[in-house]
Amino acid sequence: MAPPPLLHLRDIRLRLGSTWLLDGAELMVGAGERVALIGRNGSGKSTLLKIAAGQIEADGGTRFLQPGATVRYLPQEPDLSGHASTGAYVEAGLAPGDDPHRARLLLEGLGLTGEEQPGRLSGGEARRAALARVLAPRPDILLLDEPTNHLDLPAIEWLEGELQQYRGALVLISHDRRFLERLSRVMVWLDRGTTRRLDQSFAHFEEWRDRVLEEEETEAHKLSRKIVREEHWLRYGVTARRKRNVKRLADLQALRKRRKERVVAPGTVKMAAAEAEGSGSLVVAADRISKQFGDQPPVVRDFSTRIIRGDRVGIVGPNGAGKTTLLRMLTGELAPDSGSVRLGTNLQMVTLDQMRGGLNPDTTLTDALTGGRGDQIRVGNEVKHVIGYMKDFLFVAEQARTPVGMLSGGERGRLMLARALAQPSNLLVLDEPTNDLDLETLDLLQELLGDYAGTVIVVSHDRDFLDRVATNVIAWEGDGRWQDYAGGYTDMVAQRGRGVEAKITALAEAAPREAAEPRPAGPTGAAKPKMSFRDKHALETLPGRIAQLEKEIALLQGQLADPALYSRDPAGFAARTSLLGKKQAEREAAEEEWLRLEMLREELEGG
């Protein structure tokens, strides 16, 4: 006999206005289970998690929690008010007998000291403190609502490792596919107020969900056909003219009622970018650009790149590394201290910033889309009614006068996308566009960017999104250095031999590289410095990488030597030319890195 669950929500019902947000939802969590709560933005996931945490009461249904079981809940927007520091906030979540040293260890692992003042924290820093608070007590059940929002890649990967070692039960809401794939083993799909459970990992979820929706459509079609047949009998059947078959008539009414009451699955976002005339072939040319603010270390040091029309460029790095600064320089918004940035011709740029700037919380949804100019919106060269355009992004007509401040985070994200995509562009600049978007909207955004004829520059911490979208990735290497890699995030990791490190770690490793002279042993007989494991690995693997690049360069040069290639395939000629430049730059960087490491090795061994 299976042991009873630690937590069981049964037949949960909750009314929101005149409609049922939750209508018979269930959630069962056993000891050590890894449950992902999946659903569209606005479907009630966060509400169900709050009911599970005991934060709010349902209008109907039961909540069972095993006596003595401990629960910790991470909200989407942590509130640190009333605490003098992040350390005090985390320690306030400890119960008698909990280890305060673990709280400090978690804060350090998340890049905080414990001395930060809550009123001065960024969204990401507040999220880190809240994670330390819920993880420190080692509860029996962890309820995490969007734990990766506003976290950078090093923090996300650190959190993955911490949760993989966690032995308690886990229920998480997330739209980060890679995070879900690595942590979840049970899927609970919240859809139209009810839940369905799949006892498999996230890798199987989307195929299962699509199959369920297809079966629903098939059943709905069968129901409609049966109603048509019954109505035909009612009107034209011989028996019907002689005497009304009361039972059959009642059955028909029941079928009509069933069809009327059937809750239809919500539609899909209809995304399309309003495209302007094409830009020139060259979009951005940056030559040895650098940027430094005051006495701080350089944010960008001697970086060069070329962005060609049609490229999808991802920029990755830890928080505070200068991703947004680099983005602003590449788009001409911020001038470099040295070097130059040349923008291409006929550029029409549209920017979506990570702070969802320009959204007045008191403005209605309609006015936010139209700029307060009536009920029409221009999407490229086409004029649409604002209600129709709202529906394309899964808003309903009743939300037309809803203040922006009343929208969920995901709905605000969809609103910003709707505003940005309505403007004609041939260069899309997206700073953290995936924040708060549900899986379906992310899928459609990826398809849109894949079909977009212009150029895309995107800052993102979403590894799966970068793998699906980016043609090349600019990664932070530490000490203000940035490097361009071909391919998506996984390709970048394969080429570097590592992912994105936390800023403090990368700087700590960069420091001994600048000290070229070995330090003499002091009176204590300290050991002489050694090469790091990472440097040794790079020294061993770089020659092979350089040889591979030389083969690829030779192949491209051979293809470009064909005099008929340009006239036969101009787009292919341009793509190969662009790729050749990138491969040559990559080879040059690899050779310079190998030379530096070899000189460092000889110097250390000679010392």
| pLDDT one-digit tens code per residue, 374-392 | 788 877 667 888 888 888 7
Give the separation between CA 424 and CA 276, rounded to whole angstroms.
5
Would you state the structure tokens that stand for residue 221, as one six-digit string?
Answer: 């079609």
pLDDT tens across 118-133, in order?
A: 888 887 889 999 999 9
Percent of the chain with pLDDT over 90: 29
- By mean pLDDT, which of 7-16, 402-411, 543-552 is the weakest? 402-411
Question: Angle 454-459-460 (CA atoms, 0-180°, nearest 5)?
Answer: 115
One-letter amino acid of 120? R
pLDDT of residue 527: 41
Q: Does position 520 have pLDDT exceeding 70, yes or no?
A: no
Give, in order, the Cα–Cα distances in Å from 538 to each of 133, 407, 463, 500, 591: 38, 48, 23, 16, 11
The answer to whether 160 and 151 are in contact (CB under 8 A) is no
Average of per-residue pLDDT values in the chain: 81
DSSP 398: G
Residue 366 burial (CB count, 10 A): 20
3 state DSSP class of 573: helix
The answer to whether 507 and 477 are in contact (CB under 8 A) is no
pLDDT of residue 388: 85
pLDDT of residue 576: 83
Q: Name beta bridge partners: 273.
A: none
3 state DSSP class of 422: helix
Range among 290-294, 556-560, 576-580 with highest mean pLDDT value: 290-294
Q: Does position 243 have pLDDT exceeding 60, yes or no?
A: no
pLDDT band for position 517 (cuts 50, 70, 90): very low
pLDDT of residue 522: 38
Name, in order, each residue with C-beta under 8 angstroms of 419's C-beta and a sequence gap of 6 or more. 358, 368, 369
Q: Name beta bridge partners: 91.
A: none
pLDDT tens across 536-556, in order?
A: 777 778 888 888 888 888 888
More confident residue, 57 or 374: 57
Give the separation between CA 263 and CA 258, rounded to whole angstroms.
10
Exposure string over 21-30, b if 16+ CB within 10 A, otherwise e: bbbebbbbbe
Percent of the chain with pLDDT over 70: 82
More confident residue, 383 or 508: 383
pLDDT band for position 561 (cuts 50, 70, 90): confident
pLDDT of residue 183: 92
Q: Does position 356 have pLDDT exceeding 70, yes or no?
A: no
Q: Name beta bridge partners: 27.
A: 9
The answer to whether 311 and 453 are in contact (CB under 8 A) is no
pLDDT tens across 258-277, in order?
A: 655 555 455 555 555 555 55
> Helices 123-135 and 153-165 sit at what angle, rounded to 10 degrees?
10
pLDDT band for position 372 (cuts 50, 70, 90): confident
Work out the end-to-end distance of the chain between its first and last CA atoms, rounded to an integer number of angstroms. Answer: 68
pLDDT of residue 518: 38
More confident residue, 315 or 433: 315
Please report the DSSP string for 489-529 in residue order. Answer: HHHHHHHHTS-PPPHHHHHHHHHHHH--SPPPP-TT-PPPP
More confident residue, 443 or 606: 443
Name, in order, each residue with C-beta under 8 angstroms of 108's C-beta and a sequence gap of 6 or more. none
pTM over 0.85: no
Query: How confident is the model over 442-466, as a mean pLDDT?
Result: 85
pLDDT of residue 305: 93
Question: Angle 587-325-174 (CA atoms, 0-180°, nearest 5)?
Answer: 90
Tell me the HSE value of 146 on the side-chain side, using a 13 A CA sphere. Answer: 26
pLDDT band for position 354 (cuts 50, 70, 90): low
The answer to whether 464 and 177 are in contact (CB under 8 A) is yes
Range among 215-224, 272-281, 306-315 with highest mean pLDDT value: 306-315
Please report the DSSP string for 106-148 in residue order. Answer: HHHHTT--S---GGG--HHHHHHHHHHHHHTT--SEEEEESTT
Tell me the HSE value of 75 on the side-chain side, using a 13 A CA sphere. Answer: 11
pLDDT of residue 503: 65
Range among 70-74, 209-213, 364-368 with highest mean pLDDT value: 70-74
Residue 575 burial (CB count, 10 A): 16
pLDDT of residue 247: 59
Would you state the structure tokens that stand for residue 574, as one six-digit string?
Answer: 């341009």
3-state secondary structure 317-386: CCCCCCHHHHHHHHCCCCCCCEEEEEECCCCCEEEECCCCCCCCCCCEHHHHHHCCCCCEEEECCEEEEH
Range among 380-384, 514-518, 529-533 with highest mean pLDDT value: 380-384
More confident residue, 100 or 54: 54
pLDDT tens across 146-176, in order?
A: 998 888 888 898 899 899 989 999 999 998 8
